[in-house]
Structures are given as structure tokens and as C-alpha cells.
Amino acid sequence: MSDDTPHIQLPTLVSLLICDQVIYDRLSNKKSAIGLFNAIMVGRMPAMLAQLVVMASLTEIKEKALIELRIMRDRDDEVLFRAEQEIAAESPLATVDLVFALQGIRIPTADQYAAELRCGGEILGRRRFHVYDRTQQRGGQA
């Protein structure tokens, strides 16, 4: 490995949430994560998730950084969705909140999935969630 490879100073992930929506109050500059969850019940497979919001808080941002969000199946790392957003901060002590409002994510099977945040090819953090098929929960009866 060569020392010529540019070194990226990775930001620190403070939190990674999965929820139904994030409400931003412009007067107070506060964000509220509404409907936090770790599991989703769907009516049939494959499923289409109408809305899924991922909120990430990062700090120790010393330079501009490209942050990548991946929604993936946990057991085989199959990527179902990918998005990127560039971040910067006035100070490394500042905290930057990223909100990814995703719509129409296709979920192929009832399984465990994850929202994964990356920077420079490195994993900053991963938040798992499970998708259940309602028909499987009732013994296969629809």
C-alpha cells in the first residue's frame, strides 16, 4: 500500500435513526424524528415502502466530505438503494444533521435490512431493521 493515497479524515457518527418523518421547526432550528422504528410489517412480498426517513447526525467534520447512504439486505449486503450528499461544517465541534427522505424503496423478501452510512468507502455506522410479511406471521394465511 502506498503513502500516496489521500487520507480522508472521517467524520464521527453521533446517531443514525430510521423513522416515518422528520419535522423541521424553522423558528427553533430543531428537528423532530417522528415514528422511530426497528421493524416494518408489510402485506405481501415483494413490498414497496411508501416512505422511509433516515436521519444521521455527524460531528468532527474537518473538511468537505461525501456521505453515502445505502439501504441493504443484511445477510448478503445486496444494495437496494444508494444516495450521496456532501457535507461541510464551520467548525469540527459543530454537529450536522442529514435527512434522507426515501420513497418507493422495493423490498424483495421478508428479512433483516440495514441503513448504512459511509464516507470514503469506510462504514461510519449501520442501523438494522426487520421487514416482516404479515401473511407469514399468520401461518401463511392471507
> In CATH, what number does 12-137 get?
2.60.40.2550
Res. 90: pLDDT tops 80: yes
Residue position matching grid coordinates 455506522: 125
Scanning the chain, the segments in alpha helix (DSSP H) are: 134-137
Q: Report residue 135's pLDDT band, with 50, 70 and 90 as the boundaries.
A: confident
How many beta carbons lie within 10 A of that of residue 123, not counting itself? Answer: 13
Give the C-alpha separation, 88 to 111, whole Å.
35
What integer is the mean pLDDT of 98-124?
A: 96
What residues contact residue 93 under an 8 Å CB cut-off, 6+ apart? Answer: 59
How many beta carbons lie within 10 A of that of residue 140, not counting itself? Answer: 8
What is the value of pTM for the model shown? 0.87
Over the stretch 35-64, which tens digit does the pLDDT of each residue have?
Answer: 999 999 999 999 999 999 999 999 999 999
